[in-house]
Amino acid sequence: MTDRLKDKVAIVTGGAAGIGLATVEDFLVEGAKVIFTDIDSDKGAQVQKDLKDKALFIKQDVSDEDDWEHLMDKVQEQYGTLDILVNNAGVVPSVKPITEITTADFKKRLDVNLTGTFFGTKYGMNLMKNHGGGSIVNISSLGGLRGIATAADYCATKGGVRLMSKAAALDAADNHFNVRVNTVHPGYIKTAMTPEAGRQMMANATPIGRMGSPKEIADTVVFLASEESSFITGTELAVDGGLTAR
């Protein structure tokens, strides 16, 4: 334990797998008190058990505003404050050209990826500003920095997360809330959400020659959540093995 987040209260959405779970594990190592949420209650309960109840699981649909209000009430009741929020929950592209993307396809990604992050940033900042400030880290994507074929719905939401976060960072700064807001943009990361059939292509497309790991994203999130990044707000970090450098 390095205690970079010692006794900080942190929420991680979509924390039962992949990048979210790696972030929960990193936060615990760094001394944080962690609440993680997920829409999959069975998986969330199993993760809490695997972590020996060191982190608290709360079921949440991030696209539901009532769920956000309930979550913030629960955190305030149990911990009295919130220092860190990681808006990680999201859904993958529909993998269709825009001519075939349905309204339902688009709305699902909008509701989870963008509206869910909006709710989190809004409610998280409201709680933080009343308790001394904090750090919000929004997980965007390579698709929030450049276009990806067959992912117009996904890119629209992830690009929205990037610019919404910049605006929120300025709102916080202008109003002296002492809340920082930044985005992380993962490249091709090896998780259960990335199909085996496409992994070699993703590795070959990445200048560094391999896919990233969830922990490499989590380590970046820890940095943005900690005081080591105290002068960083309204910016984005591409953790992508050089993909956006081309």
Token pair belonging to 54: 């060191």
Residue 188 appears among annotated catalytic residues: no
Domains of the chain, by residue range, sit at 9-239
| CA separation for the pair 236, 166 (Å, rounded) | 9
Tokens 């688009």 appear where?
Answer: 106
The set of residues, in sequence order, having a beta carbon less than 8 Å from that of 66 and lying 6+ positions away, is none
Report the amino acid identity of residue 55. Answer: A
CATH value of 9-239 in 2.40.220.10, 3.10.20.30, 3.40.1010.10, 3.40.50.720? 3.40.50.720
Residue of 79, 123, 154, 188 with catalytic role: 154
Per DSSP, the chain holds a count of helices (H) and strands (E) of: 8, 7
| CA separation for the pair 17, 1 (Å, rounded) | 22
State the CB neighbour count (10 A cutoff) for residue 223. Answer: 16
pLDDT of amino acid 1: 57
For residue 15, give the 3-state DSSP assignment: coil
Positions of the chain with pLDDT lower than 50, given as ranges: none
| CA separation for the pair 57, 13 (Å, rounded) | 10
